[in-house]
């Protein structure tokens, strides 16, 4: 396989294009973020990277709280719109018919139309250049009941989540395996007894 060598750039793909909310239920703000992910499991920690020029940046910095709302494919236009428009001159909640609802652990609102809402409290902010990284503890998660199986297991495969890769949106597709499937021992078949 032949490869070209390019200079360094932001090309890790795909990533989740999430709707990040801040502010309050009475005055909700939302912006689209693609630079997010898990940074630690125990205790659970995450991050979002935000340009200081974004209208929601001062709110994030002042309150130290936000919610990462995982977006389903049905909200692809909303996700794109909230990434292109500024909260300084647009009520994105009203324009996109989004419902702000109270979160359990933080003052920032969650989005009712999103299947999973991850409530976060900032513990550090790192200036990196074009973006500042908000490091946060995950202090609560709200999951829509319709994505839980009868045993209470989360079925994100049913949530029809979005992915973003190099300027384009995609629906998540076919399941290819589960964690550890490549090293899992195959079950031993029991020999049948002859009668």
* Digit-coded pLDDT (tens) for 139-192: 999 999 999 999 989 998 889 999 998 888 988 877 767 777 778 877 777 766
Integer Cα distance of 155 and 149 in angstroms: 7
Average pLDDT over residues 44-59: 97
* Digit-coded pLDDT (tens) for 38-48: 999 999 999 99
- Say whether pLDDT at 65 is over 70: yes
pLDDT for the residue 133? 98
Give the Å distances, CA to CA, from 5 to 2, 8, 9, 107, 123: 10, 9, 11, 46, 37
Q: Are 33 and 86 in contact (CB under 8 A)?
A: no
pLDDT for the residue 98? 97
Q: Which residues pair with 15 in a beta bridge?
A: 164
pLDDT for the residue 194? 64
pLDDT for the residue 147? 93
Average pLDDT over residues 93-113: 97
Q: Are 63 and 28 in contact (CB under 8 A)?
A: no
Integer Cα distance of 62 and 58 in angstroms: 6
- Say whether pLDDT at 110 is over 70: yes
Domains and CATH numbers, the chain: 18-171 (2.30.110.10)
How many angstroms from the chain centroid is the CA of residue 125?
A: 19
pLDDT for the residue 99? 97
Share of the chain above pLDDT 90, in %: 71
What global pTM score does this model have? 0.89
Integer Cα distance of 14 and 89 in angstroms: 30
* Digit-coded pLDDT (tens) for 114-140: 999 999 999 999 999 999 999 999 999
pLDDT for the residue 9? 75
Nearest alpha-carbon partner for 161 in 12, 15, 13: 15
Integer Cα distance of 40 and 78 in angstroms: 29
Predicted confidence band at 62 (pLDDT cuts at 50, 70, 90)? Answer: very high
| Mean pLDDT computed over every residue of the chain | 91
Burial class of 45 by CB neighbour count within 10 A (0 to 12, 13 to 18, 19+): middle
Q: Tell me the two tokens of residue 108.
A: 């920032």
Q: Which residue has the tokens 């709707």?
A: 19
DSSP H helices in 66-135: 76-84, 92-95
Give the Å distances, CA to CA, from 130 to 20, 49, 50, 118: 18, 9, 8, 25
Element (H, E) at 62: helix 57-63
pLDDT for the residue 183? 81
């Amino acid at each position: 396989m032949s490869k070209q060598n390019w200079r360094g750039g932001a090309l890790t793909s795909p990533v989740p294009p999430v709707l990040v909310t801040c502010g309050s239920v009475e005055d909700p703000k939302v912006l689209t973020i693609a630079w997010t992910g898990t940074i630690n499991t125990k205790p659970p920690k995450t991050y979002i990277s935000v340009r200081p020029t974004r209208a929601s940046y001062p709110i994030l910095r002042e309150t130290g709280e936000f919610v990462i709302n995982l977006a389903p494919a049905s909200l692809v236009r909303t996700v794109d719109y909230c990434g292109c428009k500024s909260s300084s001159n647009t009520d994105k909640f009203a324009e996109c018919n989004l419902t702000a609802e109270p979160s359990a652990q933080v003052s920032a609102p969650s989005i009712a139309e999103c299947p999973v809402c991850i409530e976060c409290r900032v513990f550090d902010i790192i200036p990196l250049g074009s973006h500042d990284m908000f490091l946060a503890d995950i202090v609560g998660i709200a999951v829509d009941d319709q994505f839980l199986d009868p045993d209470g297991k989360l079925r994100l495969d049913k949530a029809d989540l979005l992915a973003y890769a190099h300027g384009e949106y995609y629906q998540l597709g076919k399941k290819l395996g589960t964690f550890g499937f490549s090293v899992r021992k195959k079950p031993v078949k029991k020999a049948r007894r002859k009668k």
